[in-house]
A and B are shown apart, each in its own frame.
Chain A
């Protein structure tokens, strides 16, 4: 039992006790023992955060007695990437997730409490999720001893150097992408619990708690969306810089897996906006709220259970089965439960509002903001479905026919494209309608809709066509694939026009600062989304690349004159060649054992090959071998052969060889080195010092017609001890209109240089920033459900403790 496992076990017990007490209180409607719950929940959170900190500390201090640390880090990595190692594989990721959910559960418990019976069940569910994660961690612990990796090693054995971090993760984006993603997933746990408990309550015969909790649900969802958007964006930007294909999105299963919850969360936010207690969306809004987390768990299962082989498969492992169980439970609570309720309550639904007016009146009766929002939810739902089907289809297919096929990106692109355009036109129309009324907005949508169709038909050149179509493609691919990307412009313009116009009016109409800021936020989100849609097709359709070869770069005989790059407008100058090995001149302590470490580990090192370092205190030359004493200790280095080994007394040395314990009577340990594996510490023999990274690159300058575009080093980093894996070092110039993206593959003195031009990446960056800033404004300043306003209102009407006493059924929302 190491400290980490103890922390986990205690967290599990605390979580289990808390969950049990809450469930008991709910089932028996008996508040006895309930006073322990806040303490237990806090204890769970503290213990899990403690476990996470302990693991992080182990990573930073390179404690290789922990197998997980040994597998995922190495001494040459900087502190940032040692921390990244914490969530480089399943165990650490789940610990991170569990710790964040625990903090979220604690926060929810502290801010809202659980005054009502159903509130206790909500809390029981969230703490239950934490407890489940903790149980998973106990089964597959991030604190397992390194001896699980070396079953035959004697007790106390510790490797001197770690395996190293997956090279793809050695990137600043990857250092923050996973925590951001897990924060968002953790935040979605609360809406899930609220939604699920709502339906449990409905089944038990009352009207549920959604109407009372809608403000809280909205805040959780918005905060979750904020983090999830950031996570998707960070993931995309990571693949842009690290994978070297010059794109942000390739419909890799794992990318799709995080997009699915994002799309559905977006749909859910619109659905919750359209929710009216007891009226519209009284089933759908809570149902979607409950399903988002189930979807997130489903997609995570897809990643972690190793169903798919994809670039993210570094997270393969046996934790998959536990995820499948979690998936089953969340699907049951989040999807099956609401769905069954919907099927069973069919008879209650009578739409009395149908008065069937005729002609334009009928249209006017149909076109309401609510119905338009309904359409938006439907479109986002369909978009989710396109991705979900594409992700799930290979699994179904493989299960049915045994044939594993991957879904082409065309499938996602071509099915999603018309849906996205429709969503933008709808957005424009909704905003237009809200401001201008039906007649004028119909004219607007007709003009822009027609322009979209015309745009789809007019392709100035073949580049504009969305996809290259093969003659045997299905009709839908032929039609959409042949459409021109010009069709994206009218919907984008209409959406921006409508949004800006409505905001203008709304801001002018209100004097409240919060309302203005919220409207600005809504505008930023929707304009950002429209610009994002604008940037994506062009980023791919109008990307292009050209290549040149530069020979003889390593020999120093580089031709430094300016050369054409293929047929493009770019020129390139190769200025030099660089090759660096890491770690350079590492301290002996980072890769070698000191004599006292050897003695401490003792017998456990017997017959293993180790690198040792120390100061020479005695040299004895024999006829068969020379022996060298380190640090006046019982550790000696033996070098076979007679004659000088080139070492002097007092010198700091490094040697690598097999450690023989009690091999000779006069020494405890002798390290059997050869002439090639022993040498002075300031110039250690190559065989003794591990090379972890070989970075090769060419420094170059890229020019276009108007002069220098970018200069710097492009090349690759090779990780010889990690299967020779290579990661590209790309050179990117982030221009206002286009990015210039330079890749150089350097081998055998020849550099193959590719210059890519990727359009509208900066536009995409700006649009993502707009989405994030916009949501932050809405999250904080929304007059109805904002964090700031809510706390202001809360302190005004009653202080925080009394908020707990707010009786259920009192709605936070008042219809305007």
Chain B
């Protein structure tokens, strides 16, 4: 039996072969203040750096108060825990353990300006990662309730009454009761501000033309913020240069109907109370010059110049070359409504056709694509081979010489 024993020892050594496969154990605990999470479904989704799904998700259940599951290796993971009708999300980056404590609850009502209950309104609870945690409808008294929720998370409460949206930020560890008063919407654009967000609330992207012409097109996006308690439902205008011919518009990332007016592009927009909406327009310029008045007070504005050399672009004094991985101009200080900004991209193309000596003037030059080009390390192949065969030769000689006997 000695052989059998030896064999067992060898086989048991297999258990110590570390990570033959590309998996990571993701685990943690789920505790519920007044109950047990036992049996709750847990889904672990491997994510890329860009928070895109990288591999198929793996699922497990909470046993007692903890869970553990092997997931394919990934730079980050999203953990979804379903408990009591709600789904709690946690993004794990550089860690594989998560401890979730579901202890907080809050309730509230949705009422109109007179205090009358809004029944049947959809109420959504969004977490800090913009995932929908739970949804519900108000009852006949306008009441809703959520919980148990995470104690260390701030949530956004979203509800829609009619065509107007209302938002409220709630930290359930400090607030247990919320009343959302659905004030009637306003169409007064003065309630809106250009969002003071990072990197900037107002972006003008100047896009080089795809054909022979010099005139670029512009994609302009503005994030409107509504800090008031009244939702905005009405029209906003994105100002365009006088010579612009618009061809598209968008609201919150999807295409939208627009009207061209003397002032620019007019769109129908709804901005939630305490929320924001991103609005954009695309238009062609007739020359290389971009000049317009800023219609609102803007804390910062960026002019993105992909395909141009910002140092060769002539521009108004309220702009300067920004320090960012992409070529752009930024504002020195906040711009008051009515300030004029101007940019002229004449002769600033990074791959100017003039440099293609002898080539067809219309053809784009071969441009290096920085995203793909890697580097080729120098390869000391000759010294390596010389080293090996040198060693062999020296070795052979050394053996000859040292064989004295």
Contact = CB atoms under 8 A, between A and B. Distances in A.
Contacts of A560: 359
A563 B366 contact: yes
A558 B372 contact: no
Given A403-B58, A463-B377, A497-B396, A548 B22 contact: no
Interface stretch (B112-120, B147-155, B328-336, B381-389): B381-389
A549 interface: yes
Contacts of A473: 19
Contact of B373 (A548, A559, A759): A548
A474 B22 contact: no
Contacts of A489: 384, 387-388, 391
Nearest to A394: B21
A564 B381 contact: no
Interface size of B as a range: 35 or more
A390 B20 contact: yes
A684 B1 CA distance: 80
A350 interface: no
B162 interface: no
A538 B379 CA distance: 9
Interface in A544-574: 544-552, 555, 557-561, 563-570, 572, 574
B356 interface: yes
B23 A552 contact: no
A754 interface: yes
A545 to B, nearest CB: 5
A567 B282 CA distance: 35
Contacts of A565: 368, 373
Contact of A493 (B20, B363, B375, B395): B395
B34 interface: no
B21 A397 contact: yes
B374 interface: yes
Given A401-B70, A489-B388, A538-B379, A501 B366 contact: no
Nearest to B24: A472
B4 A343 contact: yes
A136 interface: no
Given A346-B2, A403-B58, A411 B369 contact: no
* Secondary structure call for the A interface: mixed
B225 to A, nearest CB: 39
Interface string A456-476: 000001010000000011111
A5 B379 CA distance: 57
A559 B376 contact: no
Contacts, number: 163
B359 A548 contact: no
Given A559-B363, A559-B365, A759-B381, A566 B18 contact: no
A652 interface: no
Interface in B337-376: 356-360, 362-369, 372-376
Contact of A561 (B356, B368, B385): B356
Given A496-B388, A538-B384, A560-B359, A546 B20 contact: no
A393 B19 contact: no
A597 B7 CA distance: 69
A463 B382 CA distance: 17
A752 interface: yes
B366 A497 contact: no
A407 B376 contact: no
Nearest to B355: A561
A492 interface: yes
A477 B363 contact: no
A815 B323 CA distance: 81
Contacts of B369: 547-549, 752
B388 A408 contact: no
Contacts of A552: 362-364
B17 interface: yes
B67 to A, nearest CB: 14
A757 B377 CA distance: 9
A33 interface: no
A737 B385 CA distance: 10
Given A489-B384, A493-B395, A544-B377, A406 B22 contact: yes
A737 B381 CA distance: 6
Given A405-B72, A737-B379, A574 B366 contact: yes
Given A406-B22, A493-B392, A561 B359 contact: yes
Interface size of A as a range: 35 or more
Contacts of B71: 403
A500 interface: yes
A497 B398 CA distance: 11
Nearest to B2: A346
Interface string B1-44: 11110000000001001111111100000000000000000000
A13 B147 CA distance: 75
B21 A407 contact: yes
B374 to A, nearest CB: 5
Contact of B3 (A342, A475, A763): A342
A552 B360 CA distance: 11
B259 to A, nearest CB: 34
Interface string A518-557: 0000000000000000100010001011111111100101
A557 B14 contact: no
Nearest to B391: A493
A87 interface: no
A687 B125 CA distance: 56
A567 B373 contact: yes
Contacts of B402: 440
Contacts of A463: 377
Contact of A477 (B19, B368, B374, B388): B19
B373 A546 contact: yes
A694 interface: no
Contacts of A475: 18
Contacts of A490: 391
Contacts of B374: 544-547, 566
A474 B18 contact: yes
Nearest to B393: A497
Contact of A547 (B20, B21, B372): B372
A182 interface: no
B275 to A, nearest CB: 40
A738 interface: yes
A320 to B, nearest CB: 23
Contacts of A393: 20-21
A546 B376 contact: yes
A389 B385 CA distance: 34
B361 to A, nearest CB: 9
B58 A500 contact: no
Contacts of A547: 368-369, 372-374
A719 interface: no
A406 B368 contact: no
A389 B21 CA distance: 10
Contacts of A252: none
A346 B14 CA distance: 24
Contact of B360 (A557, A574, A738): A557
Contacts of A648: none
B216 to A, nearest CB: 17
A564 B368 contact: yes
Q: List 9 A-B pairs, minimum CB-CB distance, nearest first.
A: A566-B373, A544-B376, A474-B18, A557-B363, A547-B372, A493-B391, A497-B395, A551-B364, A737-B381
24 contacts: A343-B4, A390-B20, A403-B71, A405-B23, A405-B70, A406-B22, A472-B24, A475-B18, A493-B391, A538-B381, A538-B384, A544-B377, A545-B376, A546-B375, A548-B366, A549-B368, A551-B364, A558-B363, A559-B356, A572-B366, A737-B382, A752-B369, A759-B381, A763-B385
Interface of A: 342-343, 346, 389-390, 393-394, 397, 401, 403, 405-408, 411, 436, 440, 444, 461, 463, 472-477, 489-490, 492-494, 496-497, 500-501, 534, 538, 542, 544-552, 555, 557-561, 563-570, 572, 574, 737-738, 752, 754, 757, 759-760, 763
